[in-house]
Amino acid sequence: MTAHEPRPARTVSRRISDHAAVVAIATDPETFSSAVSRHVQVPNGLDGEAHRQARAMLDPFLDAQRVAASTPAFVRVAQQLLEQLAGREAFDAVSELGARYAVRAQSAWLGWPATIEDELLQWVADNRAATRSGDRTRMAGVAKRFDAIVRARVQERMGTDAPDDLTTALVRTRDADGQPLPQEVLVSVLRNWTGGDLASLALCIGVVVAWLTRHPEHAERLAAADDDELDATLDEILRIDDPFLANRRIATRDTEVGGCPIAQGEVVALSWRQANVDPARFPSPYAFDPHGNASDNLVWGIGPHVCPGRPLATLQLRVLTRELLRTGSVRTAEEHGGIERETPPAGGYRRFMAAIERHDA
């Protein structure tokens, strides 16, 4: 289970959907613990000092400057993929563009071989289906398969002839006491950086493509926008239709939020998606206002568990969007297989058929 896989291991007794309450809970980790799962989850299942230490050790891997070194690799991946898809009558923006780009870009970042691309893609598809089914045994089977993929990558890097890549750097990391990280911690970290993220990124790409097909009037401005402007636009698109639905917390004591009592041991789901369109915070929740809404946008969470992968995910999304805008104009191709929304616990689209009309055609 990862930060990005909202699988219901413990029963959620309440869904918190108003913005003020979500912020209050996410920023009060003493009262609302993140230790909701029985499994090792680093850093997302940790609290207090252990969480701070884990973030201090791991965040540098995801730092904006460090991830920027992967930009040329992401551009290559995006260009190759768009070149193939632009020649097609139609393609699914979630599985054929989103998931494939996510797997290739993330593998490039981690130093994972292209030979496992199909295995990872199959895993993303199976994981989405298992999550949708709500069947715990099926989800556990899929999670076990992913652990095996990750364990093999760690194992390959135990010897002296390990490749010089980010995964090896993680395997060689020492904790605050100078000790190597236990294998189950390495697996949990890599699972967090990949397992859930591949699906989240694919869903984000589906939402961005869908928005571009409906708002062609923004295409020219975005094609010429600088990085900050494009990033602000992407954040706002994802606020309006947040595909990353919720995360859980467990109350450490009897308390109350916004006048509602919450008992010790109660598990609450923080709905980023609903909070992001709460009319009490955003008077016109579906109106596009990147700069006006930025400070209250909860796409990346808030508080001590705020997403450390934001710079990486933003870079990957920005590169793909830029290359897409450069290649042509994107339009819906609903007649070739349709458009279908995803169902909770995932958001966004299950399928969004689109086509690219090349600028140079």
Q: Does 305 bind ligand HEM (CB under 6 A)?
A: yes
CB of 220 to ligand HEM, least distance (A): 26
Q: Is residue 299 involved in binding ligand HEM (CB under 6 A)?
A: yes
User: Residue 187 in 3-state DSSP?
Assistant: helix
- Amino acid making up residue 56: A
61's CB contacts (< 8 A; 6+ apart) are: 166, 169, 170
Nearer to ligand HEM, 93 or 333 (CB): 93
> Which value, in Å, is the radius of gyration of the alpha carbons in the chain?
20
Q: Does 128 bind ligand HEM (CB under 6 A)?
A: no
What does residue 95 show for φ and ψ, rounded to 5 degrees? -85, -40
Segment lying near ligand HEM (by CB under 6 A), choices 131-139, 224-232, 294-302, 325-333: 294-302
The pattern of x and - marking residues 87 through 116 that bind ligand HEM according to CB under 6 A reads: ------------------------------
- Chain centroid, CA 248 distance in Å: 16
Least distance CB 312 / ligand HEM (angstroms): 4
What amino acid is encoded at 144 in this protein? Answer: K
Binding residue count for ligand HEM, defined by CB under 6 A: 26
Smallest CA-to-CA distance from 279 within 15, 14, 17, 16 is with 17
Binding mask 166-195 for ligand HEM (x = CB under 6 A): --------------------------xx--
DSSP letter string over 218-246? GHHHHHH--HHHHHHHHHHHHHHT-S--E
- Residues that bind ligand HEM in the complex, under the rule CB under 6 A: 3-4, 26, 34, 43-44, 55, 62, 192-193, 197, 200-201, 204, 244, 247, 272, 299-301, 305, 307-309, 312-313
